[in-house]
Amino acid sequence: MTTPFQKDFLWGGAVAANQCEGAYLTDGKGLSLVDVLPDAAHGRWEAIMNPQLALEGQYDFYPSHESIDFYHHYKADLALMAEMGFKTFRTSISWPRIFPNGDDAEPNEAGLAFYDDLFDECVRLGIEPLVTINHFDTPLALMKKCNGWADRRVIELYENYAEVIFKRYKDKVKYWLTFNEINMILHAPFFGGGIDVTKTANPKQTTYQAAHHQLVASARVTKLAHDINPNFKIGCMLAGGVSYANTCAPEDAWKAVEANRENYFFIDVQSRGEYPSYSKRFFKENNITLDIAEGDLEILKAYPVEFISFSYYSSRLVSADPEVNKTTEGNVFATLKNPYLKASEWGWQIDPLGLRTTMNEMYDRYQKPLFVVENGLGAVDTPTADGKIKDDYRIAYLAEHVKAMGDAIEDGVECWGYTPWGCIDLVSAGSGEMKKRYGFIYVDRDNDGNGSLARSKKDSFYWYKDVIKSNGASL
């Protein structure tokens, strides 16, 4: 059987520390900003957009505090992933596990030891770790002290953190991502940058200044990484998804250009090493004046990323007409309803061909290897009386997307691997729910924190095992 996937294609799955580990104060961990967020029923999204609520709130339940307790279950969980044949496992290191306050003089040894054990276990099972350095969980102390990434000093703190983990895991981890969904800072500045922009005079100014700090930090640690181990592969990470024009009106087409540039802006800097030409006009029209320190532009230019990773759940649809835009549905990424697409129970529109389009556009633009590090369907799973999970809807979603990825590869796109999101059920970032499940592995836990935490295999577990075993030919 033929397959578009190369022999060493990295099949696997993805999670993030703050959404699966739990153990939020164990072994000296400090609080991350996600640890003060409540669940959906208590206004999670309001708190994300209004961080003061999160900082002052006294909620009954914080989904991240226990989550699926991966911290204490990782060995058994990794064994299940190995059983599916995982070649790679994407997770993140929790920054406040290593530096509980973000600016501590010494790292927390117990936190470092946890990741030693985790990566040793991956290596033992023949699973290559793919590690995000910062996935939404900036230490809360930094947010309180200096409004997170709005403050330039955070660059050095991040660099120091990166140096500690690069040196410690240099023989265990090869693939690193500097920031999860770096463009998230535009849509949810609290998640992306640990910043509260609600009280600043020009929120865009604060946001893009913080983004500049992250871009410089990303380039600086790319340099650092190669000084420590020349074999390291350093990538960026984008919340991806092409924006289409609502009609063939040229104004709509232009709107789509702008919407796509808003995203690509970050990768333009991280991959090409300089601010794109269109940024000048954008900054001017939005009254943004970046404070760029001496040496910043040189470091951006000298240390671009080697590969480009991204999440893809959905395409987006935009219009230039304010009347049409009034009907825009909320969600992290504003989008119109596309009449040609079906949507998930959470309103995320399902568009496998959009993945092929996204991959082709990104490869044309950057000519660097891609890595699809998130994709999947958040859905409610209802176990049958005998405890089975018949998630044919998830299999259908993933099969279509894997085929689209295969098409992109046949189009000539270089792609290193595929790590679908939430390969084991975990807490949703946007809603804090457990019932929005993505996994091949079911976890017995509900939105309110009830459940035995027992793990079981869904139908998709066996499906994905076949996909990996046949290197995509079983589709």
**Can you give the binding site for ligand P53, defined by CB under 6 A?**
16, 19, 180-181, 239, 311, 313, 332, 374, 378, 421, 428-431, 436
* Nearest residue to ligand P53 on Cβ basis: 430
Contacts of residue 63, defined as CB under 8 A and 6 or more positions apart, other chains included, come to: 37, 38, 39, 427, 432, 433, 434, 447, 449
| Smallest separation (angstroms) from ligand P53 to the CB of 305 | 17
Which tokens in the block code for residue 31? 């609080």
Which tokens in the block code for residue 124? 């033992």
The answer to whether 176 and 233 are in contact (CB under 8 A) is yes
3-state secondary structure of 287: coil
Cα 378 to Cα 119, 346, 429, distances in angstroms: 27, 8, 11
> Which residue lies nearer to ligand P53 by CB, 243 or 431?
431
| Smallest separation (angstroms) from ligand P53 to the CB of 247 | 26
Task: Give helix 250-267 / helix 352-366 axis angle, nearest 10°.
Answer: 60
283, containing H or E segment: helix 279-285
Q: What share of the chain is helix, strand, coil (3-state, %, to 5)?
A: 45, 15, 45
Q: How far apart are the first and last CA of the chain?
A: 10
| Smallest separation (angstroms) from ligand P53 to the CB of 178 | 14
| Smallest separation (angstroms) from ligand P53 to the CB of 67 | 12
DSSP type of residue 348? P
The answer to whether 311 and 237 are in contact (CB under 8 A) is yes
Cα 339 to Cα 319, 342, 349, distances in angstroms: 14, 8, 10
Which is the catalytic residue, given 374, 410, 414, 433?
Answer: 374
DSSP assignment of 172-188 equals T--EEESSTTTTHHHH-
> Which residue lies nearer to ligand P53 by CB, 296 or 381?
381
Amino acid, res. 31: L
| Smallest separation (angstroms) from ligand P53 to the CB of 50 | 16
> Which residue lies nearer to ligand P53 by CB, 138 or 205?
138
Which tokens in the block code for residue 240? 């991806």
Give bridge partners of residue 427 from the DSSP assignment: none
Q: Among all chains, which residue has been given the structure tokens 């699809």?
A: 372
| Smallest separation (angstroms) from ligand P53 to the CB of 432 | 9
> Which residue lies nearer to ligand P53 by CB, 108 or 314?
314
374 given a catalytic annotation? yes
| Smallest separation (angstroms) from ligand P53 to the CB of 433 | 8
Which tokens in the block code for residue 256? 């789509």
> Which residue lies nearer to ligand P53 by CB, 263 or 319?
263
The answer to whether 149 and 214 are in contact (CB under 8 A) is yes
Closest CA to 373 of 433, 458, 328, 313: 313
> Which residue lies nearer to ligand P53 by CB, 23 or 239?
239
> Which residue lies nearer to ligand P53 by CB, 135 or 220?
135
| Smallest separation (angstroms) from ligand P53 to the CB of 137 | 10
Contacts of residue 6, defined as CB under 8 A and 6 or more positions apart, other chains included, come to: none
Which tokens in the block code for residue 463? 């499906």
| Smallest separation (angstroms) from ligand P53 to the CB of 136 | 6
Amino acid, res. 250: P
> Which residue lies nearer to ligand P53 by CB, 188 or 224?
188
> Which residue lies nearer to ligand P53 by CB, 154 or 239?
239
3-state secondary structure of 447: coil
Q: Among all chains, which residue has been given the structure tokens 């009386």?
A: 385
- Catalytic residues, by residue number, are 374
